[in-house]
Amino acid sequence: MIVQKAAYATRQTGWTQQRADSCIALISMAWGASYLLMKTGLDGLGPFNLIGLRFGIAFLVTALLFHRRLRKATLPVIGRGAVLGLTLFGMFSFLMYGLQTTTASTAGFLTSTTVVFVPILQMIITRKKPQGRVVAGVVLTITGIALMTVQDSLALNRGAVFCLTGALLYAYHIILTDRFAQKAEGLLLGILQLGFAGFYGWIASFFFEAPSLPAGTAQWGAVLGLALVCSAFGFVMQPIAQTYTTPEHTGLLFALEPVFSALLAFIFLQEILSVQGYIGAALVLCSVFVAAAKPGGLLRRLRRRLTGTPFPSGAYRKM
């Protein structure tokens, strides 16, 4: 079924689902690098303090860049930004505390179950079953992530519960972003959620921690990297890109995080994956192509090129 509203938006903005998926893949790459930066930042800062600094700086930068657009924010849009910021704050709070109280392999696997929660939550909300290729992509993703990250037993301790809760909030955030981005400008939502997430982080830090600034150059570099690249770019572009793709695609593309994280660890830390790990990385990449591919789409494009048949203009298929 062709969605005329999405087709109109595609023609007006130049965004296509392929471009949106590519943008989300870049965001996933940035968030893959965030694990290295968070490790450095948490050496001298509390989790809530780091959340406040990260998202607070990101909000100030994006608000200055887009202050004219921000003036157009209405109360309903601000309310949606507050809700997205709350889920964002909750997600990172559970994730950081989970990483502190469980093994890295267990935390990585459980956090990556976001790709399972997204289609499950989507199915519950819409009362529709996910498409077969999405289910196949989820199975490949979970198998691949398990091969990449799981090297010890998965004990469901308190840290594991934290990570699992963070993954559930992550999935809910993806679905909320998809819904809210259809009713408001994605850029405004992206900026506002940064401000609210930072605000919630500072409030929690004042109550439960001793707020402080980064101690040295390395910590400042980590905080600025998290704020400008992972947050300002990532969480502002996410709602814009999600306007032109599906929640299932978003969840699966974000599953590339451990692949990018492993690649960056190899480049900067000289960490080498095992054969099992490389097989898992290949499965994760395959899962994205399986879930994103349109049945018969490649054959149709080849046939059109061979016969010279023009492509239909403005056709956007909502999957």
**Is residue 298 assigned to a domain?**
no
Q: Model's pTM, two decimal places?
A: 0.74
Could you say which residues of the chain have pLDDT below 70?
1-13, 102-109, 149-157, 183-184, 269, 271, 273, 288-289, 291-319
Ramachandran assignment for 296, one of left (phi > 0), alpha (psi -120 to 50 degrees), beta (any other): left
Q: What are the pLDDT digits (tens) for 159-217?
A: 778 888 998 898 899 889 888 877 667 788 889 999 999 999 999 999 999 889 988 89
Given a contact cutoff of 8 angstroms between Cβ atoms, the answer to whether 225 and 41 are in contact is: no
For residue 282, count other CB atoms closer than 10 A to its CB.
Answer: 15
What is residue 315's predicted lDDT score, i.e. its pLDDT?
35
d(CA 104, CA 109): 9
* Torsional class of 77: left (φ above 0), alpha (ψ -120 to 50), beta (otherwise): alpha
268 located within any domain: yes
Q: How far apart are CA 36 and CA 225, in angstroms?
A: 10
d(CA 289, CA 293): 6
What is the number of domains present in the chain? 1
- Which structural domain range is residue 206 located in? 4-293
Q: Is residue 305 part of a domain?
A: no
Nearest to 165 by CA among 101, 225, 111, 235: 111
- pLDDT, position 293: 60
